[in-house]
Copies of this chain bind each other. A is one copy, B any other.
Amino acid sequence: MEEVVLKATDVSEKVCEWRPPEQLRQLLDLELRDSGEPHGRLLALCRDVIRYSVKTNHPRFFNQLYAGLDYYSLVARFMTEALNPSVYTYEVSPVFLLVEEAVLKKMIEFIGWKEGDGIFNPGGSVSNMYAMNLARYKFCPDIKEKGLSGLPRLILFTSAECHYSMKKAASFLGIGTENVCFVETDERGKMIPEELEKQVCQAKKEGTAPFLVCATAGTTVLGAFDPLNEIADVCERHGLWLHVDASWGGSALVSRKHRNLLHGIHRADSVAWNPHKMLMAGIQCCAFLVKDKSDLLKKCYSAKASYLFQQDKFYDVSYDTGDKSIQCSRRPDAFKFWMTWKALGTLGLEERVNRALALSRYLVEEIKKREGFKLLMEPEYANICFWYIPPSLRETEEGPEFWAKLHLVAPAIKERMMKKGSLMLSYQPHRGKVNFFRQVVISPQVSREDMDFLLDEIDLLGRDM
């Protein structure tokens, strides 16, 4: 255990010990046999698992929208693993239900609602599904019983830069991906409200049934924030549910300095916000929050299982929140975040967000200074998107040939960094732009030296390309 925690955060250790699938399968003894293995063998297996696992807590792991290790949250997670609760009824999870209530209440306060409701669930994608289904229920409660068959086409709107879970949700919920209208964004990746309104009007003209707008606060690739106030105006004018996917950007709400990124969020009907990202609560910790207080969530989701939600219990059964969920057993994900919040206070959380965004600024300035690095755009948040241009391309004109060659650079550098184990950082093509790196700063265990190292290392790995 010590080994996992210490090695994983030690900058002198590797981020990963890369092995291709076929080779790793041979290195690990994965097979499950009739007889059990002796303890010595199991320990060796554990060591192998740790050795070949990616150290997501490592100061040089920048590959996803989460990173770093919060020790308070970790203690809480060890406790809940040992207690093994399932959060559906008060009788089985009294403490964790009250903790969830307290955390939701505080998050609702930060959104700026006077009251509200919510539930923790396994992922921002699932939160977005909750929102889509709830908006649909509000639009037409009969759908719960009757289904969509025979109804006009339900249409929803989201930005062209939204998370891919919107498409997944539309297909899963029987709405269909063709009924997701992608609204054009400006050059910074923000939804254009005028375009939204045009599309809504067009949809109405075509006789379809618009019911939901999903704005994004912190897009996955560019970290862009949609203009919530203007979008809320459009929603109000057309009577549409406004959901804000703030899975990534929601954490800026705890910072007085940066919360204006989400200006207008209090006008949303629902919000997805994942403290497991910038607030480091550990995967997964995802809240779905709803402004409505008329028990819409429960009405929409309840199935009233009489073996679990007995109405003749000796306590107030309104605490049995399991019937608001699409799950039956559910993990106490709010607790780990509560522990960190208790330990750091709101001010401590704020400091973390401020620190991450200050470090992002530092990296941006460094990129501007260095030869061979080129920013995609000025970032709003902690996503810093940039190209590395190897010396051989620096004199080439920025034409088709340049871009075609540059497209190959990031994947090749990524391969080298993985094999060396020095760094992990994601790359992607994006809406006509060739492969670029996306650096994300989250962990408070990360320093300016790590930013410098990042650029040095990319240059070192790509210099001969």
Please indicate the chain B residues that have their CB under 8 angstroms from the CB of A18 in the complex: 94
The one of B1, B91, B283, B329 that contacts A85, using a Cβ cutoff of 8 Å: B283
Does B126 lie within 8 Å of A36, measured CB to CB?
no
Q: Which residues of B contact A168 (CB under 8 A)?
A: 301, 303, 326
Q: Assess whether B84 is in contact with A57, with CB atoms less than 8 Å apart.
A: yes
Q: Are B31 and A1 in contact (CB under 8 A)?
A: no
The answer to whether A83 touches B64 (Cβ under 8 A) is: no
A116 CB within 8 Å of chain B: no
From 33 to 65 in chain A, residues with beta carbon under 8 angstroms from any chain B beta carbon are 33-37, 42, 45-46, 48-50, 52-57, 63-64
Closest residue of chain B to A280 (Cβ to Cβ) is: B84
Does A284 count as interface, using CB distance less than 8 angstroms? Answer: yes
CB atoms of B24 and A94 under 8 A apart = yes
CA distance A212 to B80 in the complex (A): 37
A257 at the interface (CB under 8 A from B): no
Q: Is B133 touching A98 in the complex (CB atoms < 8 A)? A: no
Contact yes or no, B79 A78, CB < 8 A: no
The answer to whether the Cβ of A103 comes within 8 Å of any Cβ in the partner chain is yes
**Cβ-closest chain B residue relative to A21:** B319
Of the candidates A4, A42, A86, the one having the most CB atoms from chain B within 10 angstroms of its own CB is A86
- Asked whether, in the complex, the Cβ of A92 is within 8 Å of the Cβ of B63, the reply is yes
A48 to chain B minimum Cβ distance, whole angstroms, is: 8
Shortest A379–chain B CB gap in Å is 15
Q: Determine the chain B residues whose CB is within 8 A of the CB of A327 once the complex forms.
A: 122-123, 125-126
**A90 near B21: Cβ-Cβ < 8 Å:** yes
- The complex places the Cα of A106 from the Cα of B221 at a distance, in Å, of 38
B5 touches A82 (CB 8 A): yes
Contact A45 B342 (CB under 8 A): yes
Q: Is the CB of A56 within 8 A of B77?
A: no
Say if the beta carbon of A231 comes within 8 Å of chain B.
no
Kindly state whether residue A266 has any CB partner on chain B within 8 Å.
no
Q: Closest CB-CB distance, A86 to chain B, in whole Å?
A: 5
Name the CB-closest residue of B to A174: B174
> If A74-B82, A94-B21 touch, does A328 touch B123 (CB 8 Å cutoff)?
yes
Q: How far is the CA of A37 from the CA of B342 in the complex (A)?
A: 6
CB of A315 within 8 A of CB of B174, answer no
**Chain A interface size, under 10 / 10 to 19 / 20 to 34 / 35 or more:** 35 or more
**Given A32-B102, A94-B19 in contact, is the A172-B171 Cβ separation under 8 Å?**
no
Contact indicator B430/A307 (Cβ below 8 Å): yes
A53 touches B95 (CB 8 A): yes
A264 within 8 A of B: no
In the complex formed, the residue of B with least CB distance to A426 is: B307
**CB 8 Å contact bits of A334-347 with B (1 = contact, 0 = none):** 01001101111111
A263 to nearest B CB, angstroms? Answer: 22
8 Å CB contact of A123 from B78, B124, B170, B330: B330
Which of the residues B28, B78, B175, B221 comes within 8 Å of A1, measured between beta carbons?
A: B78
A418 in the interface (beta carbon within 8 A): yes
Q: Is the beta-carbon distance between B21 and A79 smaller than 8 angstroms? A: no
**Which residue from B49, B66, B172 sits with its C-beta under 8 Å from A173?**
B172
Within 8 A of B (CB), among A136-151: 136, 143-151
Which of A19, A48, A175 is most buried by chain B, counting CB atoms within 10 A of its CB? Answer: A175
Q: Which residues of B contact A267 (CB under 8 A)?
A: none
Q: In the complex where A306-B429, A306-B430 touch, is A50 in contact with B178 (Cβ < 8 A)? A: no
Known: A53-B93, A66-B329, A91-B418. 11 other contacts (CB 8 A): A21-B319, A35-B348, A42-B343, A53-B83, A56-B86, A66-B86, A84-B283, A148-B175, A164-B304, A165-B303, A314-B414
CB-defined A-B contacts under 8 Å, sample of 11: A32-B106, A36-B344, A45-B342, A48-B95, A66-B84, A129-B172, A148-B175, A168-B301, A171-B303, A174-B174, A310-B428
